[in-house]
Amino acid sequence: MRNVTIIGAGPAGLAAAIAARDAGAHVLLLERAKELGGILNQCIHNGFGLYRFREELTGPEYAGRFIDGLHDIDIRTDTMVLEISSGSVTAVNPKDGLFTVTSDAVILAMGCRERTCGAIGVPGDRPAGVFTAGAAQRYMNIEGLRIGKRAVILGSGDIGLIMARRMTLEGAEVAACVELMPYSSGLNRNIVQCLHDFDIPLYLSHTVTRIIGRSRLEAVEVAEVGPDRKPVPGTEFRIDCDTLLLSVGLIPENELTRAAGIAIDPHTNGPVVYDDMETTQKGVYACGNVVQVHDLVDFVSDEGERAGRAAASGQPEGAYTEVQPGSGVGYVVPQRIRHEGAEDTVTLFFRVRKPCRKGSLVVYDGEREVLRKKRLYMTPGEMEKLPISRELASTAETLTVTMEEDT
């Protein structure tokens, strides 16, 4: 029986744990929080599981479906992994102290973190009342705290939109949602049900140019941005508010991965993975938002299951074909397709760089076009999926995925 250690019990880790166990492995699941489910616990809104369960579940319900299936798995919560190196995982918790486990496979499922005010370099003061949307969500939904009376949301990512509705329902006023890009990065459904439902204005091509307030936030200065995404002088206006929520992007959390010497893809900030989710280090797999930031949890679970099955069986090494993003495409996962594998078809996941109402996804082997699929309505906010046959992949030198807009 193979031993599999999984780091993280969010949606990716939970799905990986169940799949690995079902494939016959002995599974140890390590989670830094006191509870299983990861970020799903604070995502109390619905819309999870449409693909997988044909239902609109809330985050806790979605997690609950997996937690229900966790029998015959060793679980340690309140446990932080400090280090991974060649099959060994060193972790701490208050009960077991410092311990090292050696296993046949390790699955990385640490998720991602939010980009902060510092990361986007907003000038101004540093008062209380500036939150990442996720931190605000935790305060409201887990701690049951009211965080502000009048809020501005910077970034129209889904978490920001969801929080606009959540704060409004809990009695706060959301003065505006401000988006740097000329389009929203959130789902239409959230634009409608979180902003339009409550008459919250969305300022596209705008950004927050100054944070004002010595102790608690008092106001933000907002300005229009030009095509270079730089503020246009003279367009500044002030919005009084005591709360600023930042929903400006997510970054895969790969400090452990980097420290372990696993190759990181600069496009995703996640580990380079094979189609079975193995990283460049033999026996170390990765899945979920640690690999690429997803917009639907259903695909996180799919990735987790793929990693779990592969970790339990232990894929043989072998020849592979590299996959890389080309024109119009931001990144591609997996970055490597094995020539031998359990499935005949491999699905490529990626994001286009800008919205496109009508176009094609085109895959090249060098200069030679090998696959072309028409697509309507592509946007960076929604992950694209493109199945490709393993046979085709295995005969190619290098695959390049591109997006061509119809003119």
Partner 1 sequence: MKQELICIVCPSGCRITVEDGQVTDNGCKRGEVYALKEVTNPTRVLTTTVRLTGAEPVRLPVKTERDIPKGLLFSAMRQLDAVTVAAPVRRGDVVLRDVCGTGVSVIACRDVG
Partner 2 sequence: MRYDCIIIGGGVIGCATAYTLAHCQLRTLLVEAENDVAMGTTRANSAIVHAGYDAIPGSAMARTNIRGNELMEGLCRRLDVRFERIGSLVLGFSEDDLSTLKKLYERGVKNGVRGLALLDREQTLEKEPNLAANVTGSLYAPTTGIVDPWGLALAMAQVAARNGVEFAFSSPVTAITRKENGFFVTAGGQTYDTRTVVNAAGVYSDIIHGMIGGDSFHITPDRGAYYVLDKSQGKLVSHVIFQCPTEKGKGVLVSSTVHGNLIVGPDAVPQTDRTDVAATAESLDYIRRTALLSVPGINFRENIRNFAGIRARGTPDFIIGPSPVDPRFINLAGIQSPGLTAAPAIAQEAAAWLRMAGLKLEERDDFIDGRTHIEFRRQPREVQARMIRENPAYGRVICRCETITEGEILDALHAPLPPRTVDGVKRRCGTGMGRCQGGFCGPRVHEILARELGVAMWEIEKDRPGSQIALGETKEADV
| Binds 216: which of partner 1, partner 2, none (CB < 5-8 Å by kind) | partner 2
* CB-neighbour burial class of residue 333 (10 A; exposed 0-12, middle 13-18, buried 19+): buried
Question: Taking CB under 8 A as the rule, which mask of x and - marks residues 185-214 in contact with partner 2?
Answer: ------------------------xxxx-x
List the interface residues with partner 2, window 293-312 (CB under 8 A). Answer: none
Q: Would you say 144 and 322 are in contact if contact means Cβ atoms under 8 Å apart? A: no
Q: Does residue 373 belong to the site contacting partner 2 (CB under 8 A)?
A: no
**Cβ nearer to partner 2, comparing 127 with 326:** 127
| Binds 257: which of partner 2, partner 1, none (CB < 5-8 Å by kind) | none
Closest contact distance (angstroms) between CB of 315 and partner 1 is: 34
List the interface residues with partner 2, window 132-171 (CB under 8 A). Answer: 132, 134-135, 138-140, 142-149, 170-171
Closest to 375 in 3D by CA, of 399, 398, 351? 351
Three-state secondary structure readout of 208-277:
EEEEECCCECCEEEEEEECCCCCECCCCCEEEECCEEEECCCEEECCHHHHHCCCCEECCCCEECCECCC
Closest contact distance (angstroms) between CB of 326 and partner 1 is: 23
Measured CA to CA, the distance from residue 35 to residue 6 in angstroms comes to 15
Q: Which residues bind partner 1 (CB under 8 A)?
A: 34, 41, 44-46, 56, 58-61, 64, 67, 140-144, 166, 169-170, 187-189, 191-193, 196-197, 357, 376-377, 379, 382
**Cβ nearer to partner 2, comparing 255 with 344:** 255
Closest to 282 in 3D by CA, of 331, 342, 343, 338? 338
By CB under 8 A, the count of residues binding partner 2 is 52
Q: Would you say 176 and 208 are in contact if contact means Cβ atoms under 8 Å apart? A: no
Residue 24 burial (CB count, 10 A)? 11
Measured CA to CA, the distance from residue 396 to residue 407 in angstroms comes to 29
Q: Does residue 319 belong to the site contacting partner 2 (CB under 8 A)?
A: no
Element (H, E) at 152: strand 150-154
Question: Taking CB under 8 A as the rule, which mask of x and - marks residues 6-45 in contact with partner 2?
Answer: --------------------------x-------------
> For the chain, how many residues are written?
407
State the residues that interact with partner 2 by CB under 8 A: 32, 78, 80, 82, 90, 92-98, 113-114, 116-119, 121, 123-129, 132, 134-135, 138-140, 142-149, 170-172, 209-212, 214-216, 231, 255
